[in-house]
Structure 1
């Protein structure tokens, strides 16, 4: 009885302090503060810069920075950091990510699939949307509440045990692919990031319909190896293309000039 009472009390406290809404109005449980998440993002990003090869190609860096700057200019000021940091990693991975605390990583392999500035902006907008929607916080909180990631609490506030739980923590931040962990974001979160990210890139002056071409490129690049949608944490390419098409059709014509970021292949 005591255990049950403690569990109920814990759930009540979590409900009182952690309930929030995502940018699309979806209910979320967020147990960690913005500052905790920003610190965790900073720690993870610094570690990645030490462990992975950073691109020194000036033109590639300028191109990625140009696109990222245009998208982040549409993001309101954030309470836990002042500036977005962008790093290009020299890797064949077709991937990118954004972490709490304003950290953006782009792999050069992505530039072989994202054929122009609009398609790159689609990916960067999507990853930034994960941060704005507090998806990492939501994932950590779910693990905490399910009693499967209790150690993450100490990690999130900068404890020395960080390395021991690196895999779990990196996965919760959306870095599962890079660390061989099951992809952490669910289909709901991925779809939400698609929609919020599309609005961001369109507000920045990029062509939202290029997001459709991007996912067609992704489908070709995967060689048909994507698992069935019900067995994947990501929406299928066809579902993604359909949802993005519907969203692009409803976006207003934002009165802003189109960015001029010159695409560069690595």
Structure 2
């Protein structure tokens, strides 16, 4: 029988150049556990290199970590891809890296892109321009996510910067998103007023945390039998008593 789990499905680690360096996998998991959050998704910009370690730490603290990534399309739109395994997200990472804007990260301009281990020790620095866009269109990004059996979510549709409505003015119905994300900045009553025409798709709310104090600032309730990717899919489609609560 489904019970309610709390999830924060959009969190950045210190791998994202715009995230605080205290956003280490261990700190994130400890913060999530202290708040009673059952499930998180790590969604760094255009990379998945801190997910495996976050999953390992999460298992020890009872926090399920969904592999994810926040991909920037050629239209400068942010799209969350959520996946059922490390293999799938790593397959997506290969595609994103192949289409990422060329050039190296400028740490002084954008911040460091840190890959760490379970003890928060630095393993290395990602030199790619992760803050940049890919040359993949929105439709291509969504198709790739679906090709790897993932969930495609339009990030923070209520934001001007990097939100699909802010960039395009609307959400094309043929795009094929599985869900839409409302950021922590917009109260749900205002979101319902402004974006009510898009309620045919499920909505989620997430923190989009770049700093430790923001983890869990906004969560979504999920009525599921277990805290798994498969159950998340069922909740988003409202199958057999599973559902999303915002």
TM-score, normalized by length of structure 1? 0.26
Q: Flag the structure with larger Rg.
A: 1
Q: Which structure carries more strand by proportion?
A: 2
TM-score, normalized by length of structure 2? 0.28
Q: Which structure carries more helix by proportion?
A: 1
> Higher RCO, 1 or 2 (CA under 8 Å, sep at least 6)?
2
